[in-house]
Chains A and B, each alone.
Chain A
């Protein structure tokens, strides 16, 4: 796979596993290592769950578009939705809990995205949220497709 590939999913809970299966297939075709593919799958699951559960005032399904762009070492994933403006890249520290009683139940998904994505970008475009997540691979399969011009040079520290 040389260029980007994308798919539009119905924004429902039932679509989340189809998203994961599609991403796994794309990652395998791109020669992405299993660890980086897992990070991308987890963050896609978290970002999409957040859109489906909290992104809209109505209960109707709204489309979520996912684009995957293989990089020289890693992958870039763009998630677009028409939900209310929400920027996952804004800093939100996970509260420090010393006991299980103090541990928050919510907000963990955004923290996972910030933990496992190498870079997070967000902007609004035509009344849509555009979330761009980059995952830097530590290794690529020998037969992986390579596009050097797409390499990523800046990363957020974890």
Chain B
């Protein structure tokens, strides 16, 4: 699984994931993902456009990172999951506790919504 990221001018850190987010994929990005998400206050948009499969271990990685971001008064939202990935997010009800956005503008607005309040 591939992970790349970019720090946008608006302060959002956009993390792009690509490949299978199963136990093997989660293991391959876990250290880097945690370092990007949990070492400072971060407003994270996780782009799932190129994730073609997600299993529970992948979902767990997202949940752990979101918990870590919130702990530092940051935030994490998900961007553009493919239909089968969206079904897993819905079945695990993750889409009820993490915003899922369809485009980057919406995702940035959502992830920064509470930034002024904290």
Q: Is A59 an interface residue (CB 8 A)?
A: no
Given the interface pairs A42-B88, A101-B70, A108-B60, the reply to whether A49 lies near B23 with Cβ below 8 Å is yes
Alpha-carbon gap, A145 to B27, bound state (A):
38
B: residues with CB less than 8 A from A are 20, 22-24, 27, 53, 55-57, 59-60, 63-64, 66-67, 70, 76, 84, 87-88, 91-94, 96-98
Report the minimum CB–CB distance from A29 to chain B (whole Å). Answer: 20
Whether B93 pairs with A100 at a CB distance below 8 angstroms is no
Whether A103 pairs with B97 at a CB distance below 8 angstroms is yes
Whether B23 pairs with A100 at a CB distance below 8 angstroms is no
Alpha-carbon gap, A65 to B89, bound state (A):
29
Q: Which A residues lie within 8 Å of B84 (CB)? A: 38, 42
Whether B22 pairs with A100 at a CB distance below 8 angstroms is no
Main secondary structure of the interface of B (DSSP, over half): helix
- How many interface residues does chain A have, given as a range? 20 to 34
Alpha-carbon gap, A97 to B56, bound state (A):
16
Q: Which B residues lie within 8 Å of A42 (CB)? A: 53, 55, 84, 88
Alpha-carbon gap, A38 to B83, bound state (A):
11
Nearest-neighbor residue (CB-CB) of A104 within chain B: B63
Nearest-neighbor residue (CB-CB) of A114 within chain B: B91
Interface string of A90-113 (1 = CB under 8 A from B): 000010111111110110110110
Whether A115 pairs with B91 at a CB distance below 8 angstroms is yes
Q: Which A residues lie within 8 Å of B98 (CB)? A: 100
Q: Is A86 an interface residue (CB 8 A)?
A: no
Whether A116 pairs with B91 at a CB distance below 8 angstroms is yes
Alpha-carbon gap, A14 to B23, bound state (A):
10
Alpha-carbon gap, A128 to B15, bound state (A):
43
Report the minimum CB–CB distance from B71 to chain A (whole Å). Answer: 8
Alpha-carbon gap, A53 to B8, bound state (A):
38
Q: Which B residues lie within 8 Å of A102 (CB)? A: 97
Task: Provide a sorted-by-A list of 30 A–B residue pairs whose CB atoms are within 8 angstroms.
Answer: A13-B24, A13-B27, A17-B22, A41-B53, A42-B55, A42-B84, A49-B22, A49-B23, A49-B55, A49-B56, A49-B57, A97-B93, A97-B97, A100-B63, A100-B70, A100-B98, A103-B63, A103-B67, A103-B93, A103-B94, A105-B60, A105-B63, A106-B60, A108-B59, A108-B92, A109-B55, A111-B56, A112-B91, A112-B92, A116-B91
